[in-house]
Chain A
Amino acid sequence: MLKIVNVKRVGSDAEEVLFVDGDKILGWNLAVDADVTLDGGGGTIVPALIELHAHLREPGQEEKEDLASGLAAAAAGGYGTVVSMPNTSPVVDDPAIVRQLAEKAARLGFARLRPAAALTKGQQGKELAELALLKDAGAAMFTDDGRTNEDARVLRLGLEYASSLDMVVSVHAEDATLRADGVMHEGEVSEALGLPGNPAEAESARVARDIEIARLTKARLHVQHLSTARALDLVRRAKADGVPITCEVCPHHLTLTHEHLRGFDAQYKVAPPLRTSEDAAALLRGLSDGTVDAVGTDHAPHTSSEKERDLLTAPFGIPSIEVAFPLMYTRFADTLGLQKLVDLFTSGAARVMGWDAPTLEPGAPADLTILDLDTERAVEPSTFRSKAKFSPWAGEVLRGWPTLTLVAGRVAFQRGA
């Protein structure tokens, strides 16, 4: 039995006590004895955050990240559950790999791991992977993320097959031919810098196609990391039409723009690229009006030396799993409110995955996070649990840092510990 004293619930100033029995929540403010007491420090307690889009790089690219560093980083970011992307080496398209990942993660005891599996063999976009066996092995969703699904018929078949398994398919929605060799948003800045551009329409054209395929198949389609106002508007209209579609946005697309690339710093190189301030504002409106279902980080760790290359050869990706919530809270709590923000990181992500919404009610899994909404602290990449010790927000002073993350009743992260 564990009790957490001196915590508040969202929207309340009352100090309360939460009791945890084993891996379940027992209840609030009970008159029972606990073996262990944790002091919440007056923080706000919420269900542990759910990350539906992280690159943990294992197997095959452990120099960038591995399960231990990635899941520890996730717990430090307040996450209790992480959906990992399958674009590893080898690709997660084999039920044995899904099992290995899940078993290793369970031994580590940081955040829970729910591996996503590839939709197609080798993520080649040609033949469907063994979707039924992958689901049996524990795959949480199917995606060829990191690749774009160029063959519309294969995506159709994948959606139909996944739908029969009651599984969601998520897509990196970019027309690869229109994107071409673009390394940043195509526009005034890319031309001024002399860098090949990736037009906003590469995303909206592909989202338009995928909406039609979802309409055709009536299968659940999730669009990852939307970056443009146009594509978001297409999703908004598709939802109004009743198309079973969900979407996520990433903290970097909300807080950074293509203007940040003017210093030629490859830390800002990401796919889809940082767009205009108008796009970022439209994405924020999408969060407010419910068009956007969840915030996913697209945490994409790389080695520092890779990111010190020039913008043509540096890899795409921004690591953010440890700063996502405080960043979003500091920038947007006034606009969105705390409850909405927490929902985007918890119940919204669960809805995308087809999971029950997490709660702090008796009987629910003891996955919870305490947030310190008051103390200001600068982003210090050298302290990251992630192997990626760099951040475009380095030095930025944020509030809303997680101080404790409990997963299945175990302490997965405690600040200062």
Chain B
Amino acid sequence: MTRSLLDFADWTAEQVQAIFDTADVMHEVLARPVKKVPALQGMTICTAFFENSTRTRLSFELAARRMSADVVTFAAGASSLSKGESLRDTIETLNALGVDAFIVRHEASGAAHLVNKYSAKPTINAGDGRRAHPTQALLDAYTLREKFGSLEGKKITIVGDVRHSRVARSNAELLPMLGASVTLCGPATLLPKELARRGVTLTTDVNEAVKGADAVMALRLQRERMNAGYLGSLEEYAATYQVNEALMERARDGAFVLHPGPMNRDVEISGSLADSPRALIVRQVENGLAVRMSVLYHLLVGRGA
């Protein structure tokens, strides 16, 4: 088993399957009255969040605590680097305090790789720049697998700001590995043509993108994108690319809707669709906890899963 989860470059479908199988077990743990196992007792896990993210951090911290690990949190704004301390110094300091594993969120792509290089400890990428957010992709795939049984042959469409989305990049790595095809869709300014590869197609035509899809994921659209010139207005975006009931008519009957959160209701996704039974958004969050417990288990305890 890979010792770190930075992206899916050196992962196999079998290893991912093992993560999913253990996540099933973790779900059982989470259903018990005492939602705690001693698997990581005596270990210290550091959530090193150089970029703010309350939701992801809470999910990881809860996952670690459910497995009896001690958790220390390093929370720094981007200012810590401008104070002159390098990422290397920060990580070496934390390492010297006896941390057993790092969970890293950083605004710079590749930062998790650097943490892993400087610490030589198991490292989980909790989102680095635009690069990767592998546990989000795992929980997305796990949630879809829960509904479909298998992802083989499924068409998954991802709509929104693909350019700046680590969630889209990680899903475009993982889902084809599990047999699904991925269609990335968004305005041309937010859809880098270089992302096309085997199992991944690109289109700016949202109707075409959603046609026959088994699931559609909407990505968060940030207001800053307008100021940066990527878009005319959020209203225009919503009128053109919003994932809503009318658009979902083009998908397969009963197709599911996902969103990595946090949502801008009625911008990238209609509020009513987000609240509908076909939306898996709350289930994604629930599964995130089990999947992250499973990842921690495999990286810190599991052997050759």
Interface residues of chain A, those whose CB is within 8 Å of chain B, are: 187-188, 190-196, 263-264, 305-306, 308-313
Contacts and interface: CB of A to CB of B under 8 A. Distances in A.
Contact of B111 (A191, A305, A310): A310
A311 B109 contact: yes
B113 interface: yes
Contact of A194 (B114, B118, B132): B132
B254 interface: no
A308 B87 contact: yes
Contacts of B106: 310
14 contacts: A193-B110, A193-B131, A194-B169, A196-B130, A264-B110, A264-B111, A305-B86, A305-B88, A306-B86, A309-B86, A310-B108, A310-B111, A312-B108, A313-B81
Contacts of A190: 194
Contacts of B107: 312
B58 interface: no
Given A194-B166, A264-B110, A309 B129 contact: no
Contacts of B166: 194
A310 B130 contact: no
B80 to A, nearest CB: 11
B89 interface: yes
Contacts of A312: 107-109, 129
Nearest to B229: A180
B87 A194 contact: no
Top 7 nearest A-B pairs (CB, nearest first) are: A264-B110, A194-B131, A310-B108, A194-B130, A191-B194, A194-B109, A312-B108
B192 interface: yes
B25 interface: no
Given A195-B129, A264-B113, A188 B194 contact: yes
A177 to B, nearest CB: 10
Contacts of A264: 109-111, 113-114
Interface of B: 81-82, 84, 86-89, 106-111, 113-114, 118, 128-132, 166, 169, 192, 194-195
Contacts of A196: 130
A187 B192 CA distance: 9
Nearest to B81: A313
B253 to A, nearest CB: 34
A308 B107 CA distance: 16
Contact of B195 (A191, A305, A309, A313): A191
A310 B194 contact: no
Given A194-B128, A194-B129, A264-B114, A311 B89 contact: no
A264 B131 CA distance: 11
A305 B84 CA distance: 9
A195 B87 CA distance: 18
A374 to B, nearest CB: 37
A307 to B, nearest CB: 9
A183 B129 CA distance: 13
Contact of A305 (B82, B89, B113): B89
Contacts of B131: 193-195
A184 to B, nearest CB: 10
A193 B107 CA distance: 13
B179 to A, nearest CB: 22
A311 B109 CA distance: 7
A263 B113 contact: yes
B114 A310 contact: yes
Contacts of A313: 81-82, 108
Nearest to A187: B194
A268 to B, nearest CB: 11
Contacts of B86: 305-306, 308-309
Contacts of A305: 84, 86, 88-89
Contacts of B169: 194
A64 to B, nearest CB: 14
B156 to A, nearest CB: 19
Nearest to A191: B194
A247 B221 CA distance: 43
B130 A195 contact: yes
Contacts of A306: 86
Contacts of A188: 194
A189 to B, nearest CB: 8
